[in-house]
Amino acid sequence: MNERRAFLKGLVAAAVPKGSDPLTQRGSDPLTPAAAPDAWLERYSRQLVLPQWSEAAQRALEDASVLVVGAGALGSPVATYLAGAGVGRLGVVDDGDVEVSNLHRQHLHFTPDEGSPKAESAAAKLRFLNPEILIEAYPVHVDSDNVRGLVEQQDLVVDCTDSFETRYIVNAACCAAGVPLVEGGVAGWSGLVMPIQPGQTACYRCAFPTVPEGARSCAEAGVLGPAAGIVGSLQALEAIKLLTAVAPPLTDAFLQVDLLSLDVLRVNVQRRLDCPDCGGA
Ligand SMILES: [Zn+2]
pLDDT tens by residue, 66-92:
999 999 999 999 999 999 999 999 999
Q: How far is the CA of 131 from the centre of ligand 1 (A)?
A: 37
As a whole number of angstroms, the distance between CA 214 and CA 225 comes to: 22
Report the pLDDT value the prediction gives residue 33, as an integer from 0 to 100.
Answer: 42
Q: How far is the CA of 204 from the centre of ligand 1 (A)?
A: 6
Q: How far is the CA of 272 from the centre of ligand 1 (A)?
A: 6
- Look over the chain and give the mean of its residue pLDDT values, rounded to a whole number: 89
Q: How far is the CA of 76 from the centre of ligand 1 (A)?
A: 27
In 83-93, which positions are buried (b, 16+ CB within 10 angstroms) versus exposed (e)?
bbbbbbbbbbb
pLDDT tens-digit readout, 151-202: 999 999 999 999 999 999 999 999 999 999 999 999 999 999 999 999 999 9
As a whole number of angstroms, the distance between CA 246 and CA 37 comes to: 22
Q: How far is the CA of 181 from the centre of ligand 1 (A)?
A: 12
pLDDT tens-digit readout, 3-61: 555 655 565 555 444 444 333 333 333 333 444 778 989 999 999 999 999 999 999 99
Q: How far is the CA of 144 from the centre of ligand 1 (A)?
A: 17
- The dihedral region occupied by 16, where left means phi > 0, alpha psi between -120 and 50, and beta the remainder, is beta
Nearest to residue 131, comparing CAs of 43, 67, 195?
A: 43
Q: How far is the CA of 196 from the centre of ligand 1 (A)?
A: 9
Report the pLDDT value the prediction gives residue 118, as an integer from 0 to 100.
Answer: 98
Q: How far is the CA of 277 from the centre of ligand 1 (A)?
A: 5
Residues 6+ apart with CB under 8 A from 34: 25, 26, 27, 42
